[in-house]
Chains A and B, each alone.
Chain A
Amino acid sequence: MRGWLLGRALQAVAVLAIALTLLFFLMRAAPGDPLSRASEVRPLTPIELAALRARYGLDQPLGTQYVSFISGLVKGDLGVSIEYARPVTALLAERLPATLLLGGSVLILNFTVGLWLGVRQAVRRNQREDRWLTAVSLLGYATPSFWLGLVLAWLVGIKLRLLPAAGMEDPLLSIDAGFGVRAGDVLLHLILPALTLSIVSIAATMRYQRTAMLEVLNLPFMMTARAKGLPEREVIWRHGWRNALFPVITLFGLWLPILVTGSVFVEAVFAWPGLGSLAATAVWGRDYPVLMGASLLVAGLVVLGGFLTDVAYALLDPRVRLA
């Protein structure tokens, strides 16, 4: 196990190194240079631009730039935001909790409701409920998150005035409000973005779980369990579902990029103060260092997610690490 783990970790580091190199060359291959449009949205004198270029080493040869890019990364220095005039690392760290809260709630919804629905579908394969759920989940999968977000914000937030449609907390909340009041307020603000992101992402979870469960349902031990006279609920959930859970773990790794991409749009629509809206505003403000920093962080998260997925898989299923 230890040898396997080490090998897998080295592989993850190699993949990350390749991804970072790709990002570096992407930045350099862009027409003009990454700062060429920075003055479009804010007045920058040629002197300021030259200073910025020097700050990012854009006047240096490619090799030198690459070395300073990587050494900066190792030191946790991602440059300074043009828009906020603050270190990108600090901005990312500041925005991370909100994204984790949103992403975590979507994850929980997916891995409770989504898995449960997927198992139900498999058990009732090709019956009316299965078809109906498939149709609804396919509809969600085809829906652009930014549009669904706008429609929900308009319908629930503005027309019906049921839930707050923007931000993470009520700006009118008194300063000395207790923790409980504050937490409740954040939860209220969380509902619409989390719902939007869950609706567009739950189809993948359901489909994956349905397929995995269908394979298990036909295995001999299921018949044994029934023959022993176990109640159907126990057969499905204790014997079937436990074994249909392995393939779903893989889903986690596949699913992270979808979640990150979706959060850019959903956070932008709901003004949720996380990484996604930071990236969106960096796009609008041509704040290249922030956009690059967010991309680096995302690449790191995706590689880490894939690594953790494989580790979890190996821990649960010895065949993987022995293969």
Chain B
Amino acid sequence: MRPALSVLRQAWRNPAGRVGAILLLIITLSALAGPWFLPDPRAQPDILAGSLPPGLGHPFGTDQLNRDVLARVVAGARVSLSVALLAVGLSVTIGAAVGLVSGYWGGVVDAGLMRLVDGALAIPRLFILLLVLATMERVPLPALIVLIGATGWFATSRLVRAEVLRIREETYVRAAEALGARRRHIILRHLLPNTMGPLLVAATLGVGDVILLEAGLSFLGLGVQPPTPSWGSMVLDSKEVLVSAPWAGIFPGLAIVITVLSANLVGDALRETIDPRSA
């Protein structure tokens, strides 16, 4: 396993990956710094003055409640990015844990866990989430994050398990076992570090998936709840004013496209670095 720094450095040499990383950085920075230079998106709405087209005062225009679309897109970036990062962190952790246990223990544990994963993979993630969210009275943001995270680890666990099955037979693992190393030591010291590469790729590509998923749920009214701005719910709100104020929906959608594209570009660059055959 090459040190993380050299992987990142090599991925940086990939022009598409570099573009993606720079875009992600810009999006993150503006999401963090937004509140300092943009009007408060929660500012008292003015229904009578609503739906101004993009202009000097409001570069992205205002929505039907006269809220600044740019300010809401930036505030939505905070929400979408935090949901995506936390949910992906959760699902990668669960996926890695299940994959390691399943791959290293083998036997009944492995068979049981993998059949469970097979079954879970037969139900598209969106439907699992719809079934749970549709019964909930309110969807607090932390609950949404946990639910999205808890439904995203199935494929990751398979990936990690396959890696473990391969590494388990390597000489150094055999040597450690012969020296009497404990399972815990072997898993944490030998197996986990060697699955970091594929995990990193899965996590980066997972960020794009989760942003799209959260936007979709919010578009169906089951994700981030108003008045918290989210890109998906902004597109939903703009449906009513599609003809009179298309900018209210076009800009949040563009934000989704650019962010997901950047995350995927970085993910692809990392994959090509870690596994050059996939290029």
Measured in the bound complex, the distance between the Cα atoms of B243 and A322 in whole Å is 60
* Contact in complex: A299, B122 (CB < 8 Å): yes
Output the least CB separation between A72 and chain B (Å): 17
Residue of B nearest to A131 (CB): B16
Output the least CB separation between A296 and chain B (Å): 9
Measured in the bound complex, the distance between the Cα atoms of B241 and A248 in whole Å is 42
A62 at the interface (CB under 8 A from B): no
* Contact in complex: B261, A18 (CB < 8 Å): no
Residue of B nearest to A165 (CB): B242
A60 at the interface (CB under 8 A from B): no
Output the least CB separation between B171 and chain A (Å): 27
B108 at the interface (CB under 8 A from A): no
- Residue from the set B118, B131, B238, B249 with the largest chain A CB neighbour count within 10 Å: B131
* Contact in complex: A23, B123 (CB < 8 Å): yes
* Majority DSSP secondary structure for residues of B touching A: helix
Measured in the bound complex, the distance between the Cα atoms of B136 and A288 in whole Å is 12
Within 8 Å by CB of A158, from B127, B242, B249, lies B242
A254-296 contacts to B, CB under 8 A, are 257, 260-261, 264-265, 268, 279-280, 282-284, 286, 288, 291-292, 294-295
User: Contacts A23-B131, A151-B253, A283-B222: A141 and B122 contacting too (C-beta < 8 A)?
Assistant: no
Measured in the bound complex, the distance between the Cα atoms of B209 and A261 in whole Å is 12
Find chain B residues with CB under 8 A from A308 CB: none
Within 8 Å by CB of B127, from A33, A36, A295, lies A295
Measured in the bound complex, the distance between the Cα atoms of B120 and A140 in whole Å is 27
How many positions in chain B have a CB within 8 Å of any CB in the partner chain?
A: 47
Measured in the bound complex, the distance between the Cα atoms of B249 and A154 in whole Å is 11
* Contact in complex: B215, A144 (CB < 8 Å): yes
Find chain A residues with CB under 8 A from B216 CB: 144, 146, 261, 265
User: Contacts A15-B118, A27-B131, A280-B220: A150 and B123 contacting too (C-beta < 8 A)?
Assistant: no
* Majority DSSP secondary structure for residues of A touching B: helix
Find chain B residues with CB under 8 A from A31 CB: 135-137
A21 at the interface (CB under 8 A from B): yes
User: Contacts A19-B122, A26-B128, A141-B264: A146 and B219 contacting too (C-beta < 8 A)?
Assistant: yes
Find chain A residues with CB under 8 A from B131 CB: 23, 26-27, 30, 291-292, 295
Q: List 25 A-B contacts (CB under 8 A).
A: A15-B122, A16-B119, A18-B118, A18-B122, A19-B120, A23-B123, A26-B132, A37-B134, A37-B136, A142-B256, A142-B261, A142-B264, A143-B256, A144-B219, A146-B215, A146-B235, A151-B253, A261-B127, A283-B220, A283-B221, A284-B220, A294-B127, A302-B122, A303-B122, A306-B122
Residues of B within 8 A of A (CB): 115-116, 118-128, 130-132, 134-137, 208, 212, 215-216, 219-222, 232, 235, 238-239, 242-243, 246, 249-250, 252-253, 256-258, 260-261, 264-265, 278
